[in-house]
Structure 1
Amino acid sequence: MVLPEYASSTEVAVERWRNGGVSNSRSHDMVAEEVPVALEYNGISHAVMMASPADLEDFALGFSLTEGILQDRSELFDCEIVSAADGIQVQMQIATQRFVALKEKRRNLTGRTGCGLCGAETLQQAVRKPAPVVSHARFSAAAIYAAMAEMQKQQHLQQVTGATHAAAWLQADGTIALVREDVGRHNALDKLIGGLMQLEPKHDFASGAVLITSRASYEMVQKAASMGCGFIVAVSAPTALAIRLAEQAGVTLLGFVRQPGHVVYAHPQRLAPA
């Protein structure tokens, strides 16, 4: 969903230069919009994220699941997108048990300032370790390269603006099931997870792979692994912490995936021969 007040891109006047001088003094460019999005649970604001104003229902559900606010999509009863004066409010109604747990977490954080990771009270909370995944996904290098090329074709906002990340789901049959874009790489992954969780029947994250157009940071691996995904493909490098988490969680992690090569950083057993 894109609110009428907030398109995902807008046209602006620009001055183009080439070889040290103005080549076109009257020109226009399409740029990506970046909007404050407030995530509210049962009337209480929890976080404000800068995001692309599209697929916000998917974003809200994906964020809620990967951040541990919800344990299942059935715990989200309602989600309303409301345009506000300075941004967008995503007003969610969630199960009482999950809301009580969220309030307790917020109460424990009262009075603390300068936290590096929002919502983290201790080092253990900051570096969350998901349970080891049990994934039967298996892909050849050729299938992965083809999927990355197909994802690029479906990055419509990136094609227009050149300013967004994408996350895509690679199905067991080698086809791309869903692509989500955002100015933030974490947001794009949350949107993808939320979109997949909207599908019927309930989505099986153990059957495929997540493709991302960014580096594979710890948070990207944590979010995917928390949903049971055992295969992550990144166009850029992973961090050392992301590699360690992938090793511990049983996640196959590929980086620098650019045909005709890639680097395997963890659990190569899910790579099928060509």
Structure 2
Amino acid sequence: MKPALTPVPRLHHAGAVAGLVAGQRTVPEEAAVAFHYNGRSHAVMMATPADLEDFAVGFSLAESLVASAQDITDIQVRPAVGDGIDVHITTRGGAADTDPGKHHHRLTGPSGCGLCGVQCTQNALRPVQWVRRPVARWTAETVAMAMQGLQGAQQLNRQARALHAAGFWAPGPQGGLVAVREDIGRHCALDKLAGALARQGVHGGGGARQRGWEPAC
């Protein structure tokens, strides 16, 4: 399958004397990721080909296709036509709610907003469930520490400097940066993070989600 990062040749302007200098830089890849539920095609998303099992769980939860990560019994990631990737998701008792009349994507979802392909505004603006947990309180020092931790944990972005990251920080003496996921698309990074937390059994009400990004240079 296509790697998450690829080295490519580049020309760098090194000043009036040296002029153009040939070199190399690393760029993030993007692939068409097709989600199939219980043998039925549901949606195709453009995403960085990394942490796809987490992406499958997070996407399923965000789209309300399953009620919990425990409803998913198997995930198979397979190469598809060209550089595409098929992700086959099996749910307990065929529980995935992929009714086309509710939230079926019929178009490819690019790496922008995550709304492309939904069939109506009701699907794009579904009610949000409140997190019914005690609200964590944060000091300015904790916020700064969380942001510094996120920047240091962006392994892909450290090489390519062109990816978004979503991280989850838990407060307290035993807290810290719980998980970080990266993608060329913001919403894909967040779905991957949600899936990673769900697979680890981490409740979202026990910390804070943070997002980071560093432009290419």
How far apart are 1:84 and its partner, in Å?
1.6
How far apart are 1:197 and its partner, in Å?
0.9
Q: Give, as a single letter, the amino acid of the residue that structure 1 aligns with 2:67.
A: Q
SS at match of 1:102: coil
Q: Give, as a single letter, the amino acid of the residue that structure 1 aligns with 2:193.
A: L
Given that residues 40 and 47 in structure 1 are in contact (C-alpha distance below 8 angstroms), is that contact kept between their aligned partners in structure 2?
yes
SS at match of 2:141: helix
1:161–1:107 CA distance, 2 compared to 1 (3 A): closer
Given that residues 42 and 105 in structure 2 are in contact (C-alpha distance below 8 angstroms), is that contact kept between their aligned partners in structure 1?
no
Q: Give, as a single letter, the amino acid of the residue that structure 2 aligns with 1:144.
A: V
Q: How does 1:1-274 map to 2 (within 5 A)?
A: 5-19=1-15, 23-86=19-82, 87-96=84-93, 98-99=95-96, 101-105=97-101, 117-121=116-120, 123-136=121-134, 137-173=136-172, 174-199=175-200, 202-213=201-212
Given that residues 102 and 123 in structure 2 are in contact (C-alpha distance below 8 angstroms), is that contact kept between their aligned partners in structure 1?
no
How far apart are 1:70 and its partner, in Å?
0.9
1:177–1:103 CA distance, 2 compared to 1 (3 A): same
1:158–1:85 CA distance, 2 compared to 1 (3 A): same
How far apart are 1:133 and its partner, in Å?
2.4
Given that residues 36 and 50 in structure 1 are in contact (C-alpha distance below 8 angstroms), is that contact kept between their aligned partners in structure 2?
yes
Q: Distance in 2 between matches of 1:145 and 1:119?
A: 37
Structure 2: gaps (5+ residues): 107-114
1:184–1:170 CA distance, 2 compared to 1 (3 A): same
Structure 1: gaps (5+ residues): 111-115, 215-234, 236-274
How far apart are 1:172 and its partner, in Å?
2.2
Query: 1:249 aligns to what?
Result: none
Q: Give, as a single letter, the amino acid of the residue that structure 1 aligns with 2:85.
A: I
Identity of aligned residues (%): 34
Q: Distance in 2 between matches of 1:160 and 1:24?
A: 22
Q: Give, as a single letter, the amino acid of the residue that structure 1 aligns with 2:157.
A: Q
Query: 1:255 aligns to what?
Result: none
Given that residues 16 and 22 in structure 1 are in contact (C-alpha distance below 8 angstroms), is that contact kept between their aligned partners in structure 2?
no
How far apart are 1:107 and its partner, in Å?
9.6
Q: Give, as a single letter, the amino acid of the residue that structure 1 aligns with 2:68.
A: D
Q: Distance in 2 between matches of 1:196 and 1:22?
A: 49
Given that residues 42 and 104 in structure 2 are in contact (C-alpha distance below 8 angstroms), is that contact kept between their aligned partners in structure 1?
no
How far apart are 1:206 and its partner, in Å?
1.1
Identify which of structures 1 and 2 has the higher relative contact order when contacts are C-alpha pairs closer than 8 Å and 6+ apart: 2
Given that residues 166 and 181 in structure 1 are in contact (C-alpha distance below 8 angstroms), is that contact kept between their aligned partners in structure 2?
yes
Q: Distance in 2 between matches of 1:204 and 1:92?
A: 22
Given that residues 168 and 178 in structure 2 are in contact (C-alpha distance below 8 angstroms), is that contact kept between their aligned partners in structure 1?
yes
Given that residues 76 and 95 in structure 1 are in contact (C-alpha distance below 8 angstroms), is that contact kept between their aligned partners in structure 2?
yes
Write the deviation string for residues 1-39 of structure 1: whole angstroms up to 9, x where unpaired.
xxxx32211111111125578734321111111111111
Q: Give, as a single letter, the amino acid of the residue that structure 2 aligns with 1:95.
A: R
Q: Distance in 1 between matches of 2:161 and 2:40?
A: 35
SS at match of 1:158: helix
1:107–1:58 CA distance, 2 compared to 1 (3 A): closer
- TM-score, structure 2 as length reference: 0.84
SS at match of 2:99: helix
Q: Distance in 1 between matches of 2:122 and 2:103?
A: 18
Runs of 4+ deviating beyond 6 Å: 106-110
